[in-house]
DNA sequence: CTTGGGTCCTGTGCGC
DNA sequence: TGCGCACAGGACCCAA
């Protein structure tokens, strides 16, 4: 997408979680994408003319890139080697963008918890959806001292605190469960009652889990796909997520993974390893 | 202010 | 084979 023009925008319904902005298709058509970026779980496509396309995939959303193999750009390898061939439109293909180089970007989202909006690029950090987000967990702004301060006085379980995007931005249910396992912290522990030393371990575990999950192409439980349509494969190396009743992966640990529900979400953990 | 629960929506898998 | 129910990656919104 980056550097390309949006030659055609097809919008197949008026809304996802929220209504699309007025005349979205018309406002996208003919615009160049200056750069692609990301903040927390929001995808950001800066367009010429001062507008940014803001996208969230919700639970079940996916954006994939495809191309016609007979397209000259495809044959020349200009669309990248990862791009898969066009296939027939599928159920829940809500927005389709045809780029000037022949790439087709498809936003598919069965549950429609995703969203798209067009907002001013200027002052984007102040947008209501982005204002108040915590630091990026892979950035320099995320560190033990900061997390300690953010947890200070909080009585909520650490599981809930880490899912709170105002404390750290971009963690979801899977990666919180996996990070807590690796740092030996029970999901039920009150956030404000974790020692500084263990918070430092947690920060490292979060960074490691995210870096490894990205390296593995993400976690494809059902809907998620990489941009080229491939499955991620981090789900194959989960230690706890979705492993209720199965043995703990830690060498010599007799524990069995348990599942509990915290604020409506499943938490998976090893009662032996996590305190 | 913090915290927990309900809600949006479709699809799948399980027990009966 | 069919039916009802639980559950699924998120996060807003409101009541307490």
A265 contact to strand B (CB, 7 A limit): no
Mean pLDDT value of segment A172-180? 98
Mean pLDDT value of segment A113-123? 96
Q: CA-CA distances (angstroms) from residue A14 to A11, A47, A48, A110? A: 7, 21, 24, 15
Q: Average the pLDDT over each of A59-73, A187-201, A239-253 and give the range with the smallest value.
A: A59-73
Indicate the average pLDDT of chain A.
Answer: 95
Q: CA-CA distances (angstroms) from residue A170 to A3, A113, A163, A258? A: 26, 16, 8, 25
Residue predicted with more confidence, A28 or A71: A28
What DSSP designation does A185 have?
-
Mean pLDDT value of segment A52-80? 86
Cβ A42 vs Cβ A203: under 8 Å: no
Residue predicted with more confidence, A45 or A85: A45
- What does the pLDDT read at residue A86? 84
What's this model's pTM, rounded to 2 decimal places? Answer: 0.96
Cβ A85 vs Cβ A228: under 8 Å: no
Residue A227 has pLDDT above 90, yes or no: yes
Nucleotide nearest to A261 (CA to C1'): C7
Q: For strand B, list residues 210-229 of chain A whose Cβ lies within 7 Å of it.
A: 222
- What does the pLDDT read at residue A72? 75
A163 contact to strand B (CB, 7 A limit): no
Nucleotide nearest to A225 (CA to C1'): C9
């Amino acid at each position: 997408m980056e550097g390309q023009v949006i030659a055609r925008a097809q919008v197949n319904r008026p809304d996802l979680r929220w209504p699309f902005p007025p005349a979205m298709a018309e406002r996208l058509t003919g615009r160049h994408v200056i750069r692609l970026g990301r903040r927390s779980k929001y995808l950001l496509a800066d367009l010429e003319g001062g507008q940014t396309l803001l996208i969230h995939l919700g639970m079940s959303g996916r954006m994939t890139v495809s191309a016609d193999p007979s397209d000259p750009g495809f044959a020349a390898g200009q669309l990248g080697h990862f791009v898969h061939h066009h296939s027939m439109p599928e159920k829940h293909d809500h927005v389709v963008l045809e780029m000037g180089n022949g790439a087709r970007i498809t936003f598919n989202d069965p549950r429609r918890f995703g969203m798209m909006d067009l907002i001013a690029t200027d002052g984007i950090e102040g947008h209501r959806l982005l204002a108040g987000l915590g630091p990026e967990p892979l950035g320099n702004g995320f560190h033990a001292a900061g997390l300690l301060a953010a947890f200070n006085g909080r009585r909520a379980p650490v599981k809930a605190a880490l899912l709170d995007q105002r404390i750290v931005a971009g963690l979801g249910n899977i990666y919180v469960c996996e990070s807590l396992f690796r740092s030996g912290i029970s999901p039920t522990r009150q956030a404000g009652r974790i020692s500084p030393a263990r918070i430092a371990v947690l920060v490292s575990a979060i960074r490691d889990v995210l870096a490894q999950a990205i390296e593995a192409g993400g976690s494809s439980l059902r809907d998620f796909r990489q941009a080229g349509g491939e499955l991620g494969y981090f789900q194959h190396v989960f230690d706890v997520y979705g492993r209720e009743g199965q043995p703990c992966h830690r060498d010599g640990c007799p524990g069995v993974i348990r599942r509990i529900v915290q604020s409506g979400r499943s938490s998976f953990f090893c009662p032996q390893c996590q305190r």
